[in-house]
A and B are shown apart, each in its own frame.
Chain A
Amino acid sequence: MHAVGQSVARKEAPNKVTGRARYNGDVTPVGTLTAVIVPSPHAHAKLRQVDVEPARRMPGVVAVITGQDTDPMCGEVLEDRPPLARGTVRYHGEPVALVIAHGEAEARAAARRVTIDCVPLPLVATVEEAVAPGAPLVHPELGAYRRAQPPVVPKPRTNIADHAKIRRGDPTKGWAASAVAVSGHYTVPQVDHAAMETRSARVEILHDGRVIVQSTTQAPFEVQKLLAQSFHLQQGQVIVDVPLVGGAFGGKAAVQLEVLAYLASRAVNGRPVQLVNSREDDMATSPVGIGLVADVKLGATRDGLLQVAELSFLLDTGAYADSTPRVARAICSECTGPYRVEHVRCDVYTVYTNHTYATAFRGFGHFPLTFAIERTMDRLAATLDMDPAELRRKNLLGPGDRTPTRMMLTRSTLGNPQTCLDRAAALLAGPAAQPIGPHTVRARGLALFWKTSSSPPNAISGALVSFNQDGSVNLSTGTIEVGAGTKTTSAQILAEQLGIDVNQVHIHTHINTKVDPEHWKTVASMSTFMAGRAVMEAAEDAKAQLKSVAAIALKCAPGDLSVGQGRVFLTADPRIYVTFSDVAHGYSYPGGDAVGGQIMGRGSYIMRHLTLLDEDTGEGHPGPSFTVGAQGVEIDLDTRTWQYRVVRAVTVVDAGRAINPAGARAMLQGGMCMGIGLATREGVLYDRDGQRLNDQLRTYKVMRAGEQPDAYVVELVETPQIDAPFGARALGEHGLLAIPAAVAAAVSHAIGRPVDHLPITPESLWKLVRSAEAVQ
């Protein structure tokens, strides 16, 4: 009986096709009040007065609150953000006031009566403007902010919230050894997570001191800690409850609405208050994904061996830093791409602008990073007149090499980038560009990615396994089901370890911090690894308990026993056994007297040997292993209109071991589709006054049916990560990572000019070709 390696349907699937799957907005207790956000109409302004009196007098309104000096400052890394604007507004859409009423209609009607009197301040519209000498400051008080989660290195009296860096080797030597040098300048806009379920939170403050939070969060234990710390509560008083989540992509790891809902509930004597983002709120008021501007220089020998990399990234974190300093260190960790480079200098700046603030986005900075580094590799290949795949092959990292943070690689930690590259190149064999019609060019592009978790060195995950009397088991983990199938994967691991059918493992998709063991956050594609390790240990613990009770029943030593197929049996003679149900709730003798008790296994995992990156050199150990892969696309481009379509997309990834092959494939394909969206259309837009232009799904374009490629080709290489459950590597984010770079490579081949800015639209190509022609 095998559960691992099987394409088991996700456990909650039947509820999802019958409308019975419950999300946070589906159950609202009678009597819950509704809060709505009054957003800032300006991108940067001094608040003179916020007049809430007309709103307070509207029917159905219970309270209206604005930013108070006593409210805690928020920020995962740097506490730079008041939950409600205080004195200054720093982005269009920033919460200025909360209206709490008996219903949404009443609350929205009243919110329109709040008047915001303010004086515009000079706008910081781009990261380049932000770092220019004499730029207006988004945070004049930057030096005074508390550093909640170092490392973070703010530069007071500038717009730089953090500077992370890599200093490895000696770039001067690298340049001396280089025969060729190439450089590129790249831009990637902020992007929106656009999960189909918008963010929401409901808070009730009970008179016994408990705070009940219901939220769409990916990070319930972070919400718990943050609320406890901000409002001087014991962590146990804060109970965070999360049902199924309707897509997250990193955007629901940021803590925002939970704090606002707490303030709202506090303002109405602890009554339950819900705050549900409209789509417009979700896009303009809640955080987006970072944008960046990158400058990359590579030096290589005439044979194409990389000698030196100098990289500079300006991350557009918008008005507040949130988790961007952590993204910055993740970019540092893999700044060279999966290539061997001896001399590396990398600077990643978290830069404030008057844009919507940014947080983690699927890939944690790696899709823009990959775009910048892979575009530069293509430049180098062109300069050397070398096949792009061959250039990459020559420089691939291997066991024994060191990463930019000087982490020594093994086959287990790295996987096999060589096979990924070779297979992807074979699947994309053919000319870089060729005409296939009078006005149609077919072109191909290839790019590589790698990524590790960049999680805190003390990130933890736990698992609890309890047996039912009939021998079936209940599994509790702290991961959130955001759509990745994590609960099913954990159930498969447990079933395999206990030798039972996966249908004998009962999970719940509704997580509660009061009873479920902590899982750091459901982010970084780390659930299979971290929760999986905890589940393995819990299974071992349960098996030891099963054996100790069975040893009494079978009159032998526990060491004589084995566990499998729902039985505990004598290893030497499997005909002598007890079933799980015989011992799950104690073993009863024929006379009715009993020994043992309920079998309850516990497993606990903490990251091993990870370290924070050194502030000066970047040296450190940012994650347990890497996932490497190669991706490519074929596009058909119309040379008259510059319209193009991705007709084929390829991913070859080292999965270590696919616990659920169909699930892994679905995850990767979905990522590829999102990657094509990021390459071809997605990007947050602001006007000259910093007003958000596309805060709806009709203006912020995501992929729709028919825009996907005719063929998705997904191949899994399986090089086990030896300390991971069954060798499985992280896969959740990776499908999208190199797709934008591959699309850009293909389009560049098709039009014969480098394309360095995302998204790549027909209009942007027309402009690029026109401006190049004008220069000539």
Chain B
Amino acid sequence: MQNANTGRAEHLITVNGEQRRVSLRPADTLLYTLRDELGLTGAKPGCENGDCGACTVLVNDVPMKSCLLLTMEFVDQDPPRSVETVEGLDGAEVQRQFLQHWAFQCGYCTSGFLMLVEGLRRQRPEANRDELVDWLRSNICRCTSYAELIHAVEGVLERERGAAPASDHPTPVPPTR
């Protein structure tokens, strides 16, 4: 049911397990639809070119850059293709580990990294350090040193594999006088 003037039409999309009605142009990206139509602003535009990963969401458990996806590929599907955003995470281990390891500063890239790591946990819980670093290379963080992020991911995967949880508090740095 396309409007001849605007090129827009109504469709159904399922995000975070909720079915929503959206009005689309064929050229709308999933990032645009999530943010501007559905109010899910956790996914961020950083480059709209696939370079930075701030817009990463999960599609059927696989991290994807929503700035490179057309929303049309996700609407009116049966069964619906599962789209998950950071707003769909609820007390996930990855969120806890990011907090514990100071894995963010400004927070702008964080939603994308969280979804990337959640995808890694679901896809490759046995990933070793080299592999998890490879995964992290798809996204950019300009604030942290990456060591914090890597520690957080190791924490997530250890938890997933049933290892003992790490301490709840970051270790303060002892001063030298």
A residues neighboring B (CB under 8 Å): 5-7, 9, 12-23, 25-28, 105, 194-198, 244-249, 278-279, 419, 423, 482-485, 652, 655, 658, 661-667, 669-670, 672-674, 696-698, 702-708, 712, 714-718
- Is there an interface contact between A672 and B51, defined as CB atoms closer than 8 Å? no
Within 8 Å by CB of B47, from A249, A697, A715, lies A697
Residues in A with CB closer than 8 Å to B104 are: 13, 16-17, 483
- Is there an interface contact between A717 and B175, defined as CB atoms closer than 8 Å? yes
Task: Identify whether the interface residues of A are mostly helix, strand, loop, or mixed.
Answer: loop
- Is there an interface contact between B52 and A278, defined as CB atoms closer than 8 Å? no
Closest to A676 in B: B145
B residues neighboring A (CB under 8 Å): 25, 27, 35-36, 40-49, 51-52, 54, 85-87, 89, 95, 98-99, 102, 104-111, 114, 133-134, 136-137, 139-150, 169-173, 175-177
- Is there an interface contact between B150 and A105, defined as CB atoms closer than 8 Å? no
Name the distance in Å between A586's Cβ and chain B's nearest Cβ.
39
- Is there an interface contact between B105 and A667, defined as CB atoms closer than 8 Å? yes
Given contacts A662-B172, A670-B144, A706-B133, are A279 and B49 in contact (CB under 8 A)? yes
- Is there an interface contact between B111 and A19, defined as CB atoms closer than 8 Å? yes
- Is there an interface contact between B146 and A19, defined as CB atoms closer than 8 Å? no
Tell me, in angstroms, the Cα distance from A663 to B173 when the chains sit together.
10
- Is there an interface contact between B173 and A482, defined as CB atoms closer than 8 Å? no
- Is there an interface contact between B141 and A196, defined as CB atoms closer than 8 Å? yes
Name the distance in Å between B17's Cβ and chain A's nearest Cβ.
16
Residues in A with CB closer than 8 Å to B143 are: 196, 247, 483, 670
Residues in B with CB closer than 8 Å to A249 are: 142
Name the distance in Å between A275's Cβ and chain B's nearest Cβ.
14
Residues in B with CB closer than 8 Å to A662 are: 102, 170-173
Name the distance in Å between B36's Cβ and chain A's nearest Cβ.
8
Within 8 Å by CB of A704, from B54, B137, B169, B177, lies B137
Tell me, in angstroms, the Cα distance from A128 to B137 when the chains sit together.
38
- Is there an interface contact between A717 and B173, defined as CB atoms closer than 8 Å? no
Residues in A with CB closer than 8 Å to B139 are: 705
Within 8 Å by CB of A279, from B47, B108, B147, lies B47
Name the distance in Å between B105's Cβ and chain A's nearest Cβ.
4
Closest 10 CB pairs of A and B: A19-B42, A246-B108, A483-B106, A16-B107, A705-B136, A19-B86, A483-B105, A669-B145, A697-B51, A26-B41
Closest to B94 in A: A17
Residues in B with CB closer than 8 Å to A20 are: 42, 87
Tell me, in angstroms, the Cα distance from A9 to B43 when the chains sit together.
23
Given contacts A663-B102, A667-B105, are A19 and B41 in contact (CB under 8 A)? yes
Name the distance in Å between A607's Cβ and chain B's nearest Cβ.
27
Residues in B with CB closer than 8 Å to A708 are: 145-147
Tell me, in angstroms, the Cα distance from A21 to B172 when the chains sit together.
26
Residues in A with CB closer than 8 Å to B134 are: 706
Name the distance in Å between A741's Cβ and chain B's nearest Cβ.
19
Within 8 Å by CB of A194, from B87, B137, B142, B169, lies B142
Within 8 Å by CB of A23, from B52, B108, B137, lies B108
Residues in A with CB closer than 8 Å to B133 are: 705-706
Tell me, in angstroms, the Cα distance from A421 to B129 when the chains sit together.
34
Closest to A17 in B: B95
Within 8 Å by CB of A666, from B98, B99, B105, lies B105
Name the distance in Å between A501's Cβ and chain B's nearest Cβ.
16
Closest to A423 in B: B176
Closest to B91 in A: A18
- Is there an interface contact between A278 and B48, defined as CB atoms closer than 8 Å? yes
